[in-house]
């Protein structure tokens, strides 16, 4: 959920820098709120637990976008690096959790609704670097796209820079 996005962005960076109006949108999740970056076990090879690993990867997505934004702005680039999350969207992510499947009919949006914050971050006029978008209703689980607040941990410049270095 992190290294592939990091690598792809790196491979596309020259093209992005030469393209007017280019944007990079990192896809995160509300689960980033529970994420912690474990630099001693980034790949969870010693202690894998799916939700902890998922939270870490979604926190990493936000840290990456924030560090990319800082680097782009420092270089004078007009490329926008923003982020979004789909809220609670009924996808294959929940297929192995009976609890999530049970609550999907009550809380989850259809994928065509859940993708709207991501599309907004990618295409709406006026989106600025470092902004984060998600659903506007029911504690961010569903609704229409709006700018939302990420965790303070996702804005930690020291952790973001360290993650960038390790990712390289």
**R_g (Cα) of the chain, nearest Å:** 16
pLDDT, tens digit, 9 for 90 and up, residues 104-148: 888 888 999 999 999 999 999 999 999 999 999 878 889 999 999
**54 noted as active-site residue:** yes
Q: What is the pLDDT of residue 94?
A: 73
Return the biggest CA–CA distance within the chain.
48
User: Which entry of 48, 54, 120, 133 is annotated as an active-site residue?
Assistant: 54
Q: Vertex 79, ends 78 and 84: CA angle to 5°?
A: 135
pLDDT, tens digit, 9 for 90 and up, residues 24-49: 999 999 999 999 999 998 888 888 88
């Amino acid at each position: 959920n992190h290294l592939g996005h990091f690598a792809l962005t790196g491979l596309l960076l020259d093209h992005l820098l030469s393209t007017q109006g280019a944007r990079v949108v990192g896809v995160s999740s509300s689960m980033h709120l529970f994420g912690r970056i474990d630099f001693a076990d980034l790949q969870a090879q010693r202690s894998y637990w799916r939700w902890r690993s998922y939270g870490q990867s979604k926190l990493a997505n936000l840290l990456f976008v924030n560090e990319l934004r800082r680097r782009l702005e420092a270089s004078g680039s007009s490329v926008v690096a923003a982020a979004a999350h789909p809220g609670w969207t009924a996808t294959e992510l929940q297929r192995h959790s009976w609890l999530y499947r049970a609550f999907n009919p009550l809380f989850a949006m259809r994928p065509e609704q859940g993708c709207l914050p991501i599309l907004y971050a990618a295409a709406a006029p006026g989106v600025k670097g470092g902004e984060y978008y998600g659903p506007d209703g029911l504690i961010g689980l569903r609704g229409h796209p709006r700018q939302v607040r990420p965790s303070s941990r996702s804005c930690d410049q020291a952790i973001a820079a360290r993650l960038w270095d390790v990712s390289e």
